[in-house]
Structure 1
Amino acid sequence: MNIQTLTLEEAQNINVWQYEEPYELYSFTGASETLEELLDGTYYGVRNEHDELIGYFCFGDNAQVPGGRDAKLYTGECVVDIGLGMKPDLTGKGLGISFFQAGLQFAKEQFGPEKIRLSVAAFNERAIHLYMKAGFQKKASFMSRGREFLLMEYDAAGCEKQ
């Protein structure tokens, strides 16, 4: 898989992705503010071996959920937050683990974190199973916009203290 900073064309494509219930909370609205965020340098497009856009990763503040910020859960040094999304028609087809592992490897190489952290809607058992399979552990739960979320962490063993 090839992971690079999002292009305008990729961002425009992602900005209209729609997910079926119960995953509609991850859908995009096509808003211009969202397009600006997608192009702010924290989002990366993922292309397969056929050079087709299959998803994205984002890192840092844009990967955080407002309720987790309110609960002051996004603390610590040498930690990078990761967010992600697969093209809607590719979800649930067993492609998630290789996609996610590529993003984890990218995060380790780019940021050298000690821990990688993510937030996921508590109802999203499919994603939680994938994250646990990849080595993430549940750390806390919190509410955001009327929904329960889980904060999960992965020990990336980076960020050597000098």
Structure 2
Amino acid sequence: MLSSTIPAPPRPPYRVMPLTEEQAAALCEWRYEAPFTFYQWLSWADMQAQEREFGDPAIRREQYAAVLDADDAFIGFAQFFPLAGVTRLGLGLRPDLCGRGAGLGFVQAIVREAIRRAPGNEIDLEVHAWNERAIAVYERAGFVVSDHYELATARGSEQILCMVYPDGRVQFPSQ
């Protein structure tokens, strides 16, 4: 007798979930190659001691999320920073996945979550002007440059682009 079992629908390639303390600690271990080394976090102990970013349990719960792939592997994080009428994104892909084609789906999953969290909010992000790889991914995901400015950092003054996701656009280009 033939089985009439209907296969389960495929899991989405990327899912956005609450960032756990274990995942937050793992973020502090990620090491990026130059020139991306400044994206590295302080040690987990320092993040907690200073209650910095996701080291503060309340900020982690309210603003941070983990991005998992279809196999539930932790591949990146997102920050959904609330401003008046705007959700500013911060995001990071696991270093071993950078430059390997995972970026577009990763960004699209984060944008979907930003829309779900704050429908009607403008969505934007900031990116260093020299980071052409990230800018190309953001543009493929639908972001456009809306402004540029100098920002004082620990490394000196840096040129920053502000990129905005157009209002009302919920469809995504194909990967």
Normalized against structure 2, the TM-score is what? 0.76
1:112 aligns with 2:119: yes
**Structure 1 unaligned spans of 5+:** 62-73
One-letter code of the match for 2:161? L
Distance in 2 (CA, whole Å) between partners of 1:99 and 1:92 is: 12
Structure 1 match to 2:64: 43
One-letter code of the match for 1:157? G
1:56 equivalent among 77, 91, 95: 77
1:155 aligns with 2:162: no
Question: By how many angstroms is 1:33 displaced?
Answer: 4.9
1:22 aligns with 2:28: no
1:13 equivalent among 11, 26, 33: 26
Structure 2 match to 1:94: 101
Question: By how many angstroms is 1:49 displaced?
Answer: 1.2
**Tell me, what secondary structure is at the counterpart of 1:101?**
helix
Question: By how many angstroms is 1:113 displaced?
Answer: 3.2
One-letter code of the match for 1:8? E
Question: By how many angstroms is 1:111 displaced?
Answer: 1.1
Structure 1 match to 2:90: 83
Check the 8 A contact 2:25/2:44 in 1, yes or no.
Answer: no
Say which is worse superposed, 148-157 or 117-126, in terms of deviation: 148-157
Q: Kindly, what percent of the aligned residue pairs are identical?
A: 33
One-letter code of the match for 1:120? V
Give the count of matched residue pairs: 144
Normalized against structure 1, the TM-score is what? 0.82
Question: By how many angstroms is 1:31 displaced?
Answer: 5.0
Q: Which has the larger radius of gyration?
A: 2
Structure 1 match to 2:8: none
Distance in 2 (CA, whole Å) between partners of 1:119 and 1:34 is: 22
Distance in 1 (CA, whole Å) between partners of 2:69 and 2:44 is: 27
Distance in 2 (CA, whole Å) between partners of 1:113 and 1:27 is: 32
Relative contact order: is structure 1 or structure 2 higher (C-alpha 8 Å, sep ≥ 6)? 1
Distance in 1 (CA, whole Å) between partners of 2:132 and 2:42 is: 24
Check the 8 A contact 1:114/1:157 in 2, yes or no.
Answer: no
